[in-house]
Amino acid sequence: MAIKKIGAQTVRFQNPPSIISTGTVVGPKEGEGPLRAYFDMILEDDLWGEETWEKCESKMQQEAIKIAINKGNLNQKDIEYMFGGDLLNQIISSGFAARQMGIPFFGLYGACSTMTESLSLGAMTIDGGYADKLVCVTSSHFSTAERQFRFPLELGNQRNLTAQWTATASGAAILSSTGVGPFITHVTTGKISDPGIVDTSNMGAAMAPAAVDTIATHFQDTGFSIDNYDLIITGDLGYVGKEIALDLLKKEGLDIENIYSDCGIEIFYQEKQDVHAGASGCGCSAVVFGGYLYNELINGKFNKILLVSTGALHSSTSALQGESIPGIAHAVTISRDI
């Protein structure tokens, strides 16, 4: 009997897992943004001594995990599972990081929604009694994503104004069956939404309906009101997708504008850093959460937030075949108190 299931798509944990530490690694551009002070490590260049950008991204994941382990006063052998993913084919950044770390590994792909997907499944694993400590980690890299999904950087293609800048970033969070919080108390698993967008340079529009569906479902399932939250933050709809989401939510009777933001907006200065519609990449919401949001939860600025990572589930193959872009969004409630 699914005693922890409430409503259509939400789980309420009986023993909410505690997030005991985080680790964040970002590239130089991200380190020049408004959240600089919240990141654990800022790289001096996008290769970090490696031969390829892909090897750099995998190394970033390893380092983010090690930072989180050290900050949690743990040893690597204390971590029972690794839930990880990235944007690349066969999630090679995560797979090769797991090869080096030697931690039992669940590889996940949810595009930019992967951080909340990993937090969701990790929290279910701990609340279910299957582990006491595990790590959730994601990464993205501007240069690896451009090469796979768009154009080789050498071509110097002009970017559309609706395009987002893939964050070079990796964030890790350690979940534990014990600890003083903040806690993951609820998970709302998203459904695929597809508004028929085929422009891969306009992912905010493609993902916004999925975010709206998950947020609306979360409130229906839980019975929460907007007043229960200090912040609702998506990642990463960017400037374009955020406005679409706000409009669609108002049609659902939810006006969250006063407490709503987006990780793709928070991480960069839009005009100063020339990022057009903001940031994207599954590393973006991972480091905005693991750096800025987690610290502000610890410090008491926020008591309860809803983190809603969004993903565009297209591939280079599906785009070339004229397929539209399916969107997904998963939400986790993170609270200082149970």
Q: 139-151: per-residue pLDDT in tens?
A: 999 999 888 777 6
Q: 303-320: per-residue pLDDT in tens?
A: 999 999 999 999 989 988
Give residue 156's pLDDT.
63
Give residue 194's pLDDT.
97
- The secondary structure of the chain, three-state, reads CCCCEECCCEEECCCCCEEEEEEEEECCCHHHCCCHHHCCEECCCCCCCCCCHHHHHHHHHHHHHHHHHHHCCCCHHHCCEEEEECCCHHHHHHHHHHHHHCCCEEECCCHHHHHHHHHHHHHHHHHCCCCCEEEEEEEECHHHHHHHHCCCHHHCCCCCCCCCEECCEEEEEEEECCCCCCEEEEEECCCCECCCCCCCCCHHHHHHHHHHHHHHHHHHHHCCCHHHCCEEEEECCHHHHHHHHHHHHHHCCCCCHHHEEEHHHHCCCCCCCCCCCCEECHHHHHHHHHHHHHHHHHHCCCCEEEEEEEEECCCHHHHHCCCCCCEEEEEEEEECCC
Domain extents for the chain? 5-176, 183-335
Query: Would 5-176 and 183-335 be classified into the same CATH topology?
Result: yes
Architecture of domain 5-176: 3-Layer(aba) Sandwich (3.40)
Give residue 165's pLDDT.
86
Q: Is the pTM of this model over 0.85?
A: yes
What CATH number labels 183-335?
A: 3.40.47.40
Task: Kindly give the parts of the chain with pLDDT less than 70.
Answer: 151-158
CB neighbours of residue 158 within 10 Å: 6
